[in-house]
Amino acid sequence: MVTAIGPTSDQDPQRHSGWKRALDREDLHRYLTTLAGWREFTTQDPAPPEMLPEDMLPDLDPDERLDYDDGRLDYHTRLTVAATSTLRTVVHTGRRLTLLNRHAISARRGLILSGPAGTGKTTALTQFGKTIEVIDRRQHPGVDRIPVVYVTVPPAATSRMLAVEFARFLGLPVTTRANITDVIEAVCGVLIDARVSVVCVDELHNLSLATRNGAEVSDTLKYFSERIPATFVYAGVDLEAGGLFDGTRGRQIAGRFAVIDTVPFPDTQEWTGLVTTLEEALRLHHHKPGALEGLARYLHQRTGGMIGSLSHLIRGAAVDAILDGTEKITRESLERVKLDRAAQTRKTKTAS
């Protein structure tokens, strides 16, 4: 039985058993912030669905056609991750840091991803974590380890809320009586035993050093980084402008973390390559190869070079193409997909 974290948990020899228990609620597998969900993310790379010959489609009965289309719809909602230059830089820099930190006793260095919303920070963070997870699994086959932790900073977070996020990822029950010391001790014990090497902390913009709670959350992260022999990687929206490096705590963070700025893509050959990569992943019966590549400049104008907006736009148009039976993406069908307000604003400014 998994022992709840409470005032007497430090005396319980089974207090670290929670991370070994598989979470059996299927809905949790959809969330990266649980161990079960993270492991599913790092172990499953769904293959593209098989495309049936066009002349076979009329022979499918209604249920068979529904199943066939549902498989393609699900595939397009999770369309391939493009290996951008930013993603490659994050993975390379992160791997270098994990190697340099491997034998460090103190003052381990970390990495921060910062930039506007929609520039691929979370994608780069999770793909880096996935890379580390896959490497560790290959090096230690059959060993029950937790090489990577992925948590997010809750809005208006307190230090206890952050500690509970770590416990939730590990599947450690937290009682209402448990104080922050109980939670932190249990989390650190589990992660040290499980040989964690990377801790990914997303949504760091929810932390404000100007507030008492934010300062305490920052201190808690620093304490975790000192107790846990791992490389910490943070991601958040415009962190420098948000004051992350201000004051004494901010200077400490700036002195220990390298920063990779994520920015909108310029209208260059790499942008066209991203469009081509997404287009080649489509599974539509009547889509003309190269059609989206020819619309690369329009797609850049429409999205402002934001990879998040580009992915949403193409995936949305692909879903529409299956639902309405056209089986292709055109400029007209792209125009019908509503984007986020920021993308709409960027398009208006560009047009003017």
Q: Is 142 exposed, middle or buried (0-12, 13-18, 19+ CB in 10 A)?
A: exposed
At 7 the pLDDT is: 41
pLDDT level of residue 78 (50, 70, 90 thresholds): confident
Domain boundary among 261, 286, 315: 261
Question: pTM for the complete prediction?
Answer: 0.85
Tokens 């209208």 belong to 267
Summarize the confidence of residues 57-71 as an average pLDDT.
95
Whole-angstrom distance, CA of residue 314 vs CA of residue 329: 8
CATH code at 20?
3.40.50.300
Banded model confidence at residue 25, pLDDT cuts 50, 70, 90: very low
Least-confidence region, from 143-152, 192-201, 247-256, 334-343: 334-343
Does residue 198 sit in the same domain as residue 228?
yes
Please give the tally of structural domains in the chain. Answer: 2
Alpha-carbon gap, residue 97 to 88, rounded angstroms: 14
Q: Dump pLDDT digits (tens) for 31-50.
A: 899 999 999 999 887 788 99
Average pLDDT of 321-336? 97
pLDDT digits (tens, 9 = 90+) for 213-247: 999 999 999 999 999 999 999 999 999 999 999 99
Pick the more confident residue, 81 or 123. 123
| Last residue within a domain, chosen from 228, 245, 261 | 261
One-letter amino acid of 29: H
Within-domain flag for 317: yes
Q: What is the Cα 184 distance to its own chain's centre? A: 24
pLDDT beyond 90 at 175? no
How confident is the model at residue 33, as a pLDDT? 94
* Per-residue pLDDT at 324 exceeds 80: yes
For residues 23 and 126, state if they share a domain: yes
- On whether both 273 and 198 belong to a single domain, the answer is no
**Buried b / exposed e across 302-315, counting CB within 10 Å, b at 16+?**
bbbbbbbbbbbbbb
Note the pLDDT of residue 350.
54
Q: In sequence order, what are the residues at sequence separation of 6 or more whose Cβ sits closer than 8 angstroms to the Cβ of residue 299? A: 275, 292, 310, 313, 314, 334
My answer on whether 302 and 163 are in the same domain is no
Residues 287 and 257 in one domain: no
Is position 68 within any domain? no
Give the confidence band of 1 by pLDDT, cuts at 50, 70, 90.
very low
DSSP-assigned beta bridge partners for residue 257 = 110
Beta strands in 163-300 (DSSP E): 198-202, 231-237, 257-261
**Statement: residue 62 has pLDDT above 90:** yes
pLDDT of 346 reads 60
Identify the pLDDT of residue 82: 80
Query: Which residues on adjacent β-strands are paired with residue 111?
Result: 233, 258
Q: How far apart are CA 309 and CA 343, in angstroms?
A: 7
On the question of pLDDT at 30 being above 90, the answer is: no
Give the residue numbers spanning the domain of 333.
266-351
220 vs 165: CA distance, rounded Å? 12
The pLDDT, as a whole number, for residue 13 is 37
Contacts of 191 (CB under 8 A, 6+ apart): 146, 149, 166, 170, 199, 228, 230
CB-based contact 23:35 (threshold 8 Å)? yes
Average pLDDT over residues 278-290: 95
Work out the widest C-alpha separation in the chain, in whole angstroms: 70
Statement to judge: residues 321 and 199 lie in one domain: no
Q: What is the share, in percent, of the chain residues with pLDDT greater than 90?
A: 76
Measured between alpha carbons, how far is 324 from 336 in angstroms, rounded to an integer? 13
Count Cβ atoms within 10 A of the Cβ of residue 19 and give its class: 0-12 exposed, 13-18 middle, 19 or more buried.
buried
